[in-house]
């Protein structure tokens, strides 16, 4: 059994989508980051960076409980545990991992900053808005170009790279991006959005 400590954000939903896609049983523990739950000592024991998501796998390596934070690491762990959504072919595997890292190092931090300056900053700071919305649009351009010649982010297979990118693109309205401006991203988005496991994963934690 896997315990998922999460909240209704793109980083949290990557993991709930992956658990749904893999058909792994899991229990949801809500960590309300708007109320400071991420700083509670019990949560910090499994996620010392005070961020969701985190998991505890009662059947970890060597059959022992294992806890893990950082959504990208969790996706790789679950992919290797189940043998799903990370290709075995070495080149295809690293194609997937490089697009996963592109999400972790680019999409997540930059879109997150765009959301902050657009929606949470105490005063309207044009410099911050422009810097991060421009960067978000540049990243959409990179993905759109990749998807012009590939069905999915890393090639012809749906992998953990798509699972990591999707919940951030699902918030395109938050970072003021119109998907009509990126037609290949729009096509990819619609395909992934139609997957039943994605619908279920995106509803976590509110419906649990
Ligand atoms: N690189 C981390 C980022 C996690 C992250 O930023 N989580 C946010 C929610 S999406 C959070 O827990 N924020 C709480 C806080 O800032 O205190 C990951 O991918 O797991």
- Break the chain into its structural domains and give their ranges: 2-84, 90-197
Q: Which residue carries 């657009």 as its tokens?
A: 118
Domain at 2-84, CATH from 1.10.1510.10, 3.30.310.50, 3.40.30.10, 3.40.50.300: 3.40.30.10
3-state secondary structure of 89: coil
With the most atoms of ligand 1 within 8 angstroms of its CB, the residue from 8, 9, 11 to mutate is 11
With the most atoms of ligand 1 within 8 angstroms of its CB, the residue from 52, 68, 73, 167 to mutate is 52
Query: What integer pLDDT is reported at residue 28 of this predicted model?
Result: 97
CA–CA separation, 172 and 187 (whole Å): 14
Ligand 1 atom closest to Cα of 50? 17
3-state secondary structure of 201: helix
With the most atoms of ligand 1 within 8 angstroms of its CB, the residue from 4, 51, 53, 161 to mutate is 51
Tokens of 191: 């395909």
- 164 CB under 6 A from ligand 1? no
β-pairing, 26-30 with 54-57? unpaired
* All residues at 6 or more sequence positions from 197 whose CB lies less than 8 Å from its CB, including other chains: 17, 20, 21
CA–CA separation, 118 and 101 (whole Å): 25
Q: What is the pTM of this model?
A: 0.97
Q: How many CA atoms lie within 13 A of 151 on its CB side?
A: 6
E strand intervals along the chain: 2-6, 26-30, 54-57, 66-69
With b meaning 16 or more CB within 10 Å and e meaning fewer, what string describes 59-70?
ebeeeeebebbb
> 90-197 has which CATH code?
1.20.1050.10
Query: What integer pLDDT is reported at residue 206 of this predicted model?
Result: 77
Q: What is the full per-residue pLDDT of the chain (208 aa) written as tens digits?
A: 999 999 999 999 999 999 999 999 999 999 999 999 999 999 999 999 999 999 999 999 999 999 999 999 999 999 999 999 999 999 999 999 999 999 999 999 999 999 999 999 999 999 999 999 999 999 999 999 999 999 999 999 999 999 999 999 999 999 999 999 999 999 999 999 999 999 999 999 976 5
| 69 sits in which H/E element | strand 66-69
Query: What integer pLDDT is reported at residue 161 of this predicted model?
Result: 98
- 101 CB under 6 A from ligand 1? no
Query: What integer pLDDT is reported at residue 74 of this predicted model?
Result: 98
Query: What integer pLDDT is reported at residue 207 of this predicted model?
Result: 60
Q: Do the two domains 2-84 and 90-197 of this chain adopt the same fold?
A: no
Nearest Cα neighbor of 106 from 151, 65, 67, 143 is: 143
CA–CA separation, 51 and 71 (whole Å): 10
């Amino acid at each position: 059994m896997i315990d998922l400590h999460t909240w209704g954000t793109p980083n949290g939903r990557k993991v709930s989508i992956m658990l749904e896609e893999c058909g792994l049983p899991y229990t949801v523990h809500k960590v309300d980051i708007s109320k400071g739950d991420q700083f509670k000592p019990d949560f910090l024991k499994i996620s010392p960076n005070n961020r969701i998501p985190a998991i505890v796998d009662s059947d970890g390596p060597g059959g022992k409980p294992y806890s893990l934070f950082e959504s990208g690491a969790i996706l790789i762990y679950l992919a290797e545990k189940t043998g799903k959504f990370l290709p075995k072919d070495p080149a295809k595997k690293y194609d997937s991992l490089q697009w996963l890292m592109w999400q972790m190092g680019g999409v997540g931090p930059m879109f997150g900053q765009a959301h902050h300056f657009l929606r949470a900053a105490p005063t309207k700071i044009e410099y911050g808005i422009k810097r991060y919305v421009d960067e978000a649009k540049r990243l959409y351009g990179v993905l759109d170009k990749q998807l012009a010649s590939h069905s999915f982010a890393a090639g012809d297979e749906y992998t953990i790279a798509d699972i990591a990118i999707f919940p951030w693109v699902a918030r395109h309205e938050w970072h003021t991006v119109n998907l009509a401006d990126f037609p290949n991203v729009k096509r990819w988005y619609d395909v992934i959005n139609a997957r039943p496991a994605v619908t279920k994963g995106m509803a976590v934690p509110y419906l649990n």
